[in-house]
Amino acid sequence: MSKQQPAPAPAPAPAPEAAPAEEKKPEKKEKPKAPKRRIQVGKLYKVDGGAVSRLRKECPRCGRGYFMAQHKNRLTCGHCGYTTYTSKS
């Protein structure tokens, strides 16, 4: 039999076996993130009457407005990475 039958429409490519079911999409659950620590500018200054004093040391590299983060034994600038150690021994 050499009668050619009309080729059936090409079947759609078989879906990969591990295809995720897209019908029921579970709602994206966002992982509970730890609250982002924002710098509290108000804690960097101390207003005493009309005078403003800075409670943190400023970065010697970055200059004014860049405060050093206070750690146990060091001060670090988050902007440039400048670190100075404050060993009390």
Provide the binding-site residues for Zn ion, judged by CB under 5 A.
Answer: 59, 61-62, 66, 77, 79-80, 82
Given a contact cutoff of 8 angstroms between Cβ atoms, the answer to whether 66 and 59 are in contact is yes
Given a contact cutoff of 8 angstroms between Cβ atoms, the answer to whether 65 and 58 are in contact is yes
Cβ proximity to Zn ion: between 31 and 76 the closer is: 76
HSE-up (13 A, CA, CB side) for residue 30: 3
Residue 67 beta carbon to Zn ion: minimum distance, rounded to whole angstroms: 9
Cβ proximity to Zn ion: between 12 and 63 the closer is: 63
Residue 70 beta carbon to Zn ion: minimum distance, rounded to whole angstroms: 14
Residue 41 beta carbon to Zn ion: minimum distance, rounded to whole angstroms: 16
Cβ proximity to Zn ion: between 55 and 80 the closer is: 80
Residues whose CB is less than 8 angstroms from the CB of residue 80 and which lie 6 or more positions away in sequence, other chains included: 59, 61, 62, 66
